[in-house]
């Protein structure tokens, strides 16, 4: 029930943002509205507030929060001011829904009888595996909080909203990407988690149609929100969708060649530069490598080893933003970067705690960690790389 309410709220909020952005469907527009709007535009410079058109007085056309709304007929002439209050609630709902969906994936996939007959060696084994997977939650919540904070009441235009923080557009695009990738994982979970050599072919996860719809709804709603805000907040000259692939490729290319710190004598710049590189390496290992290499850093065998890279990629984007903020002297000043920094540190604390707990407190270690035993060097390196995130942001 809670998941359903989150999904319905998110769908409502995204729909409201969509409508306020001026993308209302023409099939729902009254036949009189074009005449009313045209008459208003034609007479706006004549200073005739009492004029009417087809029985609809001009006084019935009001302006509120940057939106020009015709009180009869339901059409709207949209101003350039974004609905910041709605967006703040939208990001909060998207963060809650995405975190709940990821938690559901981690809990239902890392358990006994997945597939039927497969049993966990002890209760500590799934506990620390889930703890390590849920380290992604602070990254999600930190990003959402940062974007919500950028939606301030004094913002007067969509372009100004996009320029309010260098990380705003980047994180909206990341939100759209993580939502789409997570939806694809849910849709094809039985293929992604398939266990080779089993007869009949078994898999670690296969969602029912109802659960699949709920999870895809949560991720898809968040993706739609990120994509809509990213597109609306672009500069006027970049609104042509045909130019978006070039813009994305240029941005990614610029980021890749800018990973190195500007000042190697600044330990915080060096920290975030190394973390960005580490997150990118970990994302690549899980995405393109086969077993047992892809088990690093998730330690979840085939269960979530192809899902966690979605959020290590988000970690790479977050730490790159923090590197830039450190270079610009904004890391300790702007609150939105504090949200991102706290998310990264919480990720590091949960991930490192899960690995230490598995090694020290799990009686099935190392016998039950078959894939990890095959790549012990990579496992230790991943723990060391992520552990760097625990260092503070002070010089």
Q: Say whether both 107 and 62 belong to one domain.
A: no
Two tokens at 21? Answer: 């952005």
357 assigned to some structural domain: yes
The contacts of residue 69 (CB under 8 Å, 6+ apart) are 61, 62, 63, 76, 77
For position 310, what pLDDT does the model report?
96
Q: Say whether both 182 and 48 belong to one domain.
A: no
The contacts of residue 269 (CB under 8 Å, 6+ apart) are 261, 262, 263, 323, 326, 327
Q: Say whether both 145 and 109 belong to one domain.
A: yes
Q: Say whether both 111 and 67 belong to one domain.
A: no
Q: What is the total count of domains within the chain? A: 2
Out of 13, 45, 79, pick the residue that ends a domain. Answer: 79
108 assigned to some structural domain: yes
Strands 61-64 and 52-53: unpaired
Q: Say whether both 55 and 117 belong to one domain.
A: no
Q: Say whether both 157 and 93 belong to one domain.
A: yes
Two tokens at 85? Answer: 């209050």
For position 166, what pLDDT does the model report?
74
Q: Say whether both 102 and 65 belong to one domain.
A: no
> Is the link from the previous residue into 292 a cis peptide, with omega within 30 of 0?
yes
Q: Which one-letter DSSP state was computed for residue 317?
A: H
Q: Say whether both 74 and 88 belong to one domain.
A: no
Cα dihedral 1→219→66→26 (10° resolution): -90
Out of 63, 79, 95, pick the residue that ends a domain. Answer: 79
Q: What is the mean pLDDT of each successive set of 10 residues along the chain, which is 395 residues long?
A: 49 47 40 43 42 41 39 43 92 96 96 90 96 96 94 89 85 95 96 88 93 96 95 86 89 91 93 96 95 94 94 96 93 92 96 96 94 95 95 87
For position 4, what pLDDT does the model report?
52
For position 347, what pLDDT does the model report?
97
204 assigned to some structural domain: yes
Angle formed at CA 58 by CA 57 and CA 64, multiple of 5 degrees: 125
Q: How many CB atoms are located within 10 Å of the residue 288 CB?
A: 10
**82: three-class secondary structure by DSSP:** coil
What's the CA gap between 199 and 138, in Å, rounded?
39
349 assigned to some structural domain: yes
What's the CA gap between 106 and 98, in Å, rounded?
12
Q: Say whether both 119 and 173 belong to one domain.
A: yes
Q: Say whether both 92 and 148 belong to one domain.
A: yes
Two tokens at 357? Answer: 């707990």
Q: Say whether both 218 and 314 belong to one domain.
A: yes
Helices (H), 151-187: 158-163, 168-187
Radius of gyration of the chain from its Cα atoms, rounded to whole angstroms: 24
157 assigned to some structural domain: yes
* CA distances from residue 2 to 6, 77, 203 in whole angstroms, order as listed: 6, 36, 28
7 assigned to some structural domain: no
Q: Say whether both 132 and 169 belong to one domain.
A: yes
Domain that holds residue 245: 84-390
Q: How many CB atoms are located within 10 Å of the residue 242 CB?
A: 6
Q: Which residue from 209, 205, 181 is spatially nearest to 194, judged by alpha carbons?
A: 205
22 assigned to some structural domain: no
313 assigned to some structural domain: yes
For position 116, what pLDDT does the model report?
87
What's the CA gap between 83 and 156, in Å, rounded?
10
Q: Which residue from 86, 176, 102, 110 is spatially nearest to 138, judged by alpha carbons?
A: 102
Q: Which residue from 70, 96, 75 is spatially nearest to 27, judged by alpha carbons?
A: 75
């Amino acid at each position: 029930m809670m998941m359903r309410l989150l999904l319905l709220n998110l769908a409502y909020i995204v729909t409201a943002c969509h409508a306020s952005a001026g993308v209302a469907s023409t099939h729902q527009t009254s036949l009189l509205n074009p005449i009313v709007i045209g008459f208003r535009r034609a007479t706006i410079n004549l200073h005739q507030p009492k004029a009417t058109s087809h029985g609809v007085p001009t006084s019935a056309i009001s302006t509120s929060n940057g939106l020009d709304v015709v009180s009869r007929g339901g059409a709207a002439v949209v101003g350039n001011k974004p609905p910041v209050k709605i967006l703040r609630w939208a990001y909060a709902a998207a963060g809650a829904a995405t975190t709940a969906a990821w938690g559901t994936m981690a809990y239902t996939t890392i358990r006994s009888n997945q597939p039927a007959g497969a049993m966990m060696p002890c209760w500590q084994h799934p506990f620390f595996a889930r703890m390590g997977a849920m380290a992604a939650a602070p990254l999600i919540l930190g990003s959402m909080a940062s974007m919500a904070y950028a939606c301030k009441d004094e913002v007067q235009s969509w372009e100004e909203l996009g320029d309010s923080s260098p990380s705003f557009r980047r994180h909206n695009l990341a939100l759209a990407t993580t939502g789409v990738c997570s939806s694809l994982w849910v849709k094809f979970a039985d293929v992604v988690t398939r266990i080779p050599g089993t007869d009949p072919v078994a898999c670690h996860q296969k969602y029912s149609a109802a659960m699949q719809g709920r999870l895809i709804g949560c991720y898809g709603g968040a993706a739609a929100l990120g994509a809509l805000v990213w597109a609306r907040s672009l500069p006027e000259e970049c609104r042509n969708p045909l130019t978006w692939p070039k813009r994305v490729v240029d941005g990614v290319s610029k980021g890749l060649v800018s990973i190195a710190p500007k000042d190697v004598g600044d330990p915080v710049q060096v920290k975030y530069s190394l973390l960005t590189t580490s997150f990118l390496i970990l994302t690549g290992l899980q995405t393109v490598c086969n077993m047992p290499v892809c088990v690093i850093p998730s330690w979840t065998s085939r269960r979530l080893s192809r899902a966690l890279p979605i959020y290590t990629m988000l970690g790479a984007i977050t730490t790159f933003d923090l590197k830039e903020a450190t270079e610009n002297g904004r890391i300790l000043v702007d609150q939105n970067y504090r949200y991102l920094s706290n998310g990264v540190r919480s990720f590091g604390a949960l991930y490192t705690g899960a690995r230490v707990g598995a090694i020290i407190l799990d009686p099935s270690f190392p016998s039950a960690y078959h894939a990890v035993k095959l790549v012990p060097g990579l496992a230790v390196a991943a723990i060391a790389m992520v552990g760097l995130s625990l260092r503070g942001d002070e010089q």
